[in-house]
Amino acid sequence: MALDETHDPALESFVPTPEGTPFTIHNLPFGVFRPGPGFDARVGTRIGDTIVDLSVLEARGLFDGPELAGRDVFSKPRLNEFLALGRPAWREVRLALSRLLRRETPTLRDDESLREGALLPADRCEMLVPAEIGDYTDFYSSRHHATNVGVMFRGPDNALMPNWLHLPVAYHGRASSIVPSGTPIRRPCGRTLPAGTTTPVFGPSGLVDFELEVGFLVGPGTALGELVPVERAEEHIFGLVLVNDWSARDIQKWEYQPLGPFLSKNFATTVSPWVVTLEALEPFRTEGPVQDPQPLDYLRTAGNPSWDLPLTVALRTEKLDQPHVIAQSNFRHLYWNVRQQLAHHTVTGCNLRPGDLMASGTISGPEKHERGCLLELTWRGEEPLQLPGGEERTFLRDGDEVIITGTAARDGLRIGFGPCAGRIVPAAPLPAAS
Ligand code: MN
């Protein structure tokens, strides 16, 4: 991938882009929204505080390049049809949008009725999960996170499992409970083994946690039996979303051996509604960590397979007026990169489908303030977080809202996702015995 005219820092839009917005003309993310109650969902992009309804532009014939001409992909309530088209189509639409939204382009700027139909105030729209996600896989690709958790549960000598430096560890997650930012998160009930006892009990989890993650949406799928070479993996990666992989640590601890997490993570996963494309992220490419031992050939990558993408977690309790920043990390800390994750996922011949979600695992950095979950930030609850106003937190209480954001900035460019947020609400009442 190379930089092109859509990355020119001098570009400006006739659509207002407030100072500091992550939704600049250089970003042009994709999402699915409803313009209001009762409307059908459709695909849009966002610039400043405005959502651009791509189904309206498509119906007007404004995407008339060779990849998109005559197609109907943006009137759908999901990105899947667009994802299946692949990078030439994604680039064609990005270029068309960049040109349409520029200050000097009259097509949309001077057409009042088209503007009224296509440009909508973001705060009046409802954002949805951007794709129909058939399968969700969660990796465990941060060395700092895996090491911290390993130290807590197995001691410093056995912190990383013997396989960890050799392959990107993952588990198959639950796709049905993926929800868009803003959806309340109900405290899960489950089985736990209280400390110092030998009899498991049932009830609301007492140790609900967040996990700061970033995922990618799969573009064109593959056939069963087909392997994706690591150097072609990005052809199947559309863009990134922010992910909060909510986790019930007490349920997880009692259930996870030998097959990994199950109910401790299947109750909800929040994603940002806006998908930031690899094209938009191109100016922020970076190497990522040195890998030692060197991975096997099928996982060996060259160039810059990562991005310098700062990530922030803020917590708002019911007593706090403002969200309080509790962690700051960066996507570039990930040890295993997205190309390796995708290549590894298909090395058995496992097929991919457009809209599949693969998430990074908790992204922690080397420093204490870069830890991407409460389990690490409070060291299993032994070091409570001190919040403004004298409150303390070890794990999440009912009413707590967790807000993940990610914004990359460099050389006059600034792009980001907007929030990936969710608030914990009390556990459901238990069903009455019959
Ligand atoms: Mn996770």
- What is the SS3 assignment for 70-95? CCCCCCCCCCHHHHHHCHHHHHHHHH
Report the distance separating Cα 27 and Cα 140, nearest Å.
Answer: 28
State the pLDDT confidence band at 1, using cuts at 50, 70 and 90: confident
135 residue type, one letter: D
Buried b (16+ CB within 10 A) or exposed e, 329-361: bbbbbbbbbbbbbbbbbbbeebbbbbbbbbbbb
State the pLDDT confidence band at 429, using cuts at 50, 70 and 90: confident
Cα-based distances in Å from 237 to 55, 279, 429: 23, 11, 41
What confidence tens digit (pLDDT) does each residue in 374-412 have?
999 999 999 999 999 999 999 999 999 999 999 999 999
**Averaged pLDDT for residues 22-45:** 98
* Per-residue confidence (pLDDT) for residue 432, from 0 to 100: 75
* Per-residue confidence (pLDDT) for residue 10, from 0 to 100: 97
Residue of 26, 145, 324, 344 marked active site: 145
Report the distance separating Cα 355 and Cα 185, nearest Å.
Answer: 23
State the pLDDT confidence band at 2, using cuts at 50, 70 and 90: confident
Residue 244 has pLDDT above 80, yes or no: yes
pLDDT mean across residues, the chain: 97
Q: Contact 332/286 with Cβ under 8 angstroms?
A: yes
Percent of the chain with pLDDT over 90: 97
**Cα 180 to ligand 1 centre (Å):** 17
Report the distance separating Cα 343 and Cα 234, nearest Å.
Answer: 10
Buried b (16+ CB within 10 A) or exposed e, 225-254: eeebebeebbebbbbbbbbbbbbbbbbbbb
What confidence tens digit (pLDDT) does each residue in 333-346 have?
999 999 999 999 99
Q: Judge whether 145 counts as a catalytic residue.
A: yes
**Cα 260 to ligand 1 centre (Å):** 11
* Per-residue confidence (pLDDT) for residue 431, from 0 to 100: 73
* Per-residue confidence (pLDDT) for residue 434, from 0 to 100: 64
pTM exceeds 0.85: yes
Residue 266 has pLDDT above 80, yes or no: yes
CA dihedral 212, 218, 223, 224 (to 10 degrees): 10
* Per-residue confidence (pLDDT) for residue 70, from 0 to 100: 92
Residue 212 has pLDDT above 80, yes or no: yes
Q: Contact 310/408 with Cβ under 8 angstroms?
A: yes
Taken in order of first residue, the domains within the chain and their CATH numbers are 5-128 (2.30.30.230), 136-425 (3.90.850.10)
**Averaged pLDDT for residues 212-227:** 98
Residue 302 has pLDDT above 80, yes or no: yes
**Cα 150 to ligand 1 centre (Å):** 15
**Cα 40 to ligand 1 centre (Å):** 32
* Per-residue confidence (pLDDT) for residue 240, from 0 to 100: 99
Q: What HEC string does 133-173 produce?
A: CCCEEEECCCHHHHHHHHHHHHCHHHCCCCCCCCCCCEEEC
**Cα 248 to ligand 1 centre (Å):** 11
State the pLDDT confidence band at 320, using cuts at 50, 70 and 90: very high
